[in-house]
Amino acid sequence: MTTTETEHAAIALTKELIRRQSITPEDDGCQPLMAERLSSIGFTCESLPAENVLNLWATHGSQGPTLVFAGHTDVVPPGPREHWDSDPFVPSERDGLLYGRGAADMKASLAAMIVATESFIAKHPNHNGRIAYLITADEEGPAIHGTRHVVDTLLARGETIDWCVVGEPSSTQSLGDVIKNGRRGSINATLTVKGRQGHVAYPHLANNPMHAAFTVLEDLRAIAWDNGNAFFDPTQLQFSNIQSGTGATNVIPGELVAIFNVRFSTETTAITIQETCEATLDARGLDYEIKWQLSGNPFLTEPGDLVDAVRDSIFNVTGTHTQLSTGGGTSDGRFIAETGSQIIELGPINASIHQRNEHVLIADIPRLAQIYEEVMERLLT
């Protein structure tokens, strides 16, 4: 793959994807465009829609270990377009940067994957193993009918995934300086502490839930879950919302609602978090209800075939010694991890994602394609 060809193909495809207004859960033709490119080089492409979400599963090769490129075509809403310096769905170049919603998260990655695969298959039509694509339009939304649905379908078929490269924007200062080799688990809780509403002048006729809650909320905050490990920071609980009261100054409220999230390492489980929190609440003798929502369990890919291939490819293209990280929010890797796959997240610099004037370094797009191609060279030849 020559530099000129790569730059033209990867950058042009990035622009074409940005032009498609795929605000979650819409795809706006992104996946059909990708499927057309993949079909033309011999991929078998299958649409796996669920509810109103479009998903793509595409494969090349029939046996051997499977390397999956995973990602999402949906983007977050751009907000008021007048707040952007240029139309968020018209790709614009300024000072070496390409601007547009989804430029970094993650249409540049998708374009780089496609172009890298086209080049690799042209050189190795009978490569070892399988190459697959798992693409959804439900990553930025509820994430119920996207990658989760595709993984469930694959597991029911007995499909296996050995290696997975997710195109999430992982880099911080320069391309490839950070890759994600895991993510913390995430569990949300809505706690309702019950009391009895009444007049503030007659507290003996009421039961103020705020007075009881303040102490137990501090108990929850102070729980020492674990010390983390070599790959994960210690587990921590954070409150995001606390609501109580009627707005009147003379009314004792009847309940207090607190919402919190626990980001947890592989040293702690979701079950342990639930049991510990409920035991803490019970110890205070509260009348309460608590509802739990598990967003995802932690996953970790330790150094091995995939990590080595990605690190070596990054160094060969950029000269960068990459760092492993499990920080940040959740990603669809949490669903793919259920297949037992090794997972790495590698994409462009993430400083502008979800912001107005989102952008990517133009020069990084062909370099990312080259990195992806070298990963295939290392794993499948």
- Residue 290: what are its φ and ψ, rounded to 5°? -140, 135
* CB crowding 293-320: b at 16 or more within 10 Å, else e: eeebbbbbbeeeebbebbbebbeebbeb
- Cα–Cα distance, 148 to 96 (Å, whole number): 37
Closest CA to 111 of 100, 124, 96: 100
DSSP 1-49: --HHHHHHHHHHHHHHHHHS--BTT--TTHHHHHHHHHHTTT-EEEE--
Does the annotation mark 7 as catalytic?
A: no
Please confirm, yes or no, whether 74 is among the known catalytic residues. Answer: yes
Only one residue has tokens 């007075």, namely 211
> Could you tell me which residues come within 8 angstroms of residue 84 by beta carbon, excluding any fewer than 6 positions away?
78, 99, 356, 357
Query: How crowded is the C-beta side of 262, counted as CA atoms within 13 Å?
Result: 29
Give every CB contact of residue 230 below 8 A, 6+ residues apart in sequence: none
* Contact residues for 156 (Cβ-Cβ < 8 A; gap 6+): none
Q: Do residues 326 and 184 lie in contact, with contact meaning Cβ atoms separated by under 8 Å?
A: yes
Helix ranges, the chain (H) = 3-19, 30-39, 108-123, 147-157, 209-221, 270-283, 305-318, 333-336, 364-380
Q: Which of 26, 27, 28, 74 is catalytic?
A: 74
Q: What angle is formed at CA 281 by the lines to CA 202 and CA 194, rounded to 5 degrees?
A: 35
Q: Which of 28, 138, 139, 168 is catalytic?
A: 139
| Active site positions, annotated | 74, 139
